[in-house]
Amino acid sequence: MTAEPPRRRFRPPLVVLARLFAMQVWGVILVVVGTVMRVHLAVVFMASVLVLVSLLRAWWEPSPTTRWMAWISPLLLVAAVIIWLVAS
C-alpha cells in the first residue's frame, strides 16, 4: 500500500489575486454609479461579471473577506436586475 502525497489546490500569484480584488471593488463602485445614473443594462452586465470574479476569488483564496465578497456580489446582481425590471 503506497501513500500518496496530498493534492495541492492551484493558487495563483498574489498579483492575480490583487487584480481580482481590484476588479471586485471597481465592480461594486460601477454597479452603484450605474444604478444612480440609470444605465440599467450596463449595471446588470457589470454585476454578472462581478459574480464571476467573486466566485474565482472565493475558489482560489478562501478567507472570511472573500466569502463576504462572494455573497455580496450575487445580491448586487439580483438588486440590479430588480431595479432594471422596475425601471423598464
- Per-position DSSP letters for 22-80, written without gaps between them: HHHHHHHHHHHHHHHHT-HHHHHHHHHHHHHHHHHHHHHS-SHHHHHHHHHHHHHHHHH
Residues 42-66, buried b or exposed e (16+ Cβ, 10 A)? Answer: bbbebbbbbbebbebbbeebeeeeb
Quick one: pLDDT at residue 34? Answer: 80
Output the tens digit of pLDDT for each of the chain's 88 residues.
566 666 676 777 888 878 878 887 887 788 778 877 878 777 778 777 887 877 777 777 777 766 676 677 777 777 777 877 787 7
Quick one: pLDDT at residue 1? Answer: 56
In a domain, 6, yes or no: no
In a domain, 8, yes or no: no
Query: Grid coordinates 476588479 are at which residue?
Result: 23
Based on the structure, what is the number of domains in the chain? 1
CA distance 84 to 9: 39
Query: What range does the domain containing 64 cover?
Result: 17-23+36-87
> Could you tell me the pTM of the whole model?
0.62
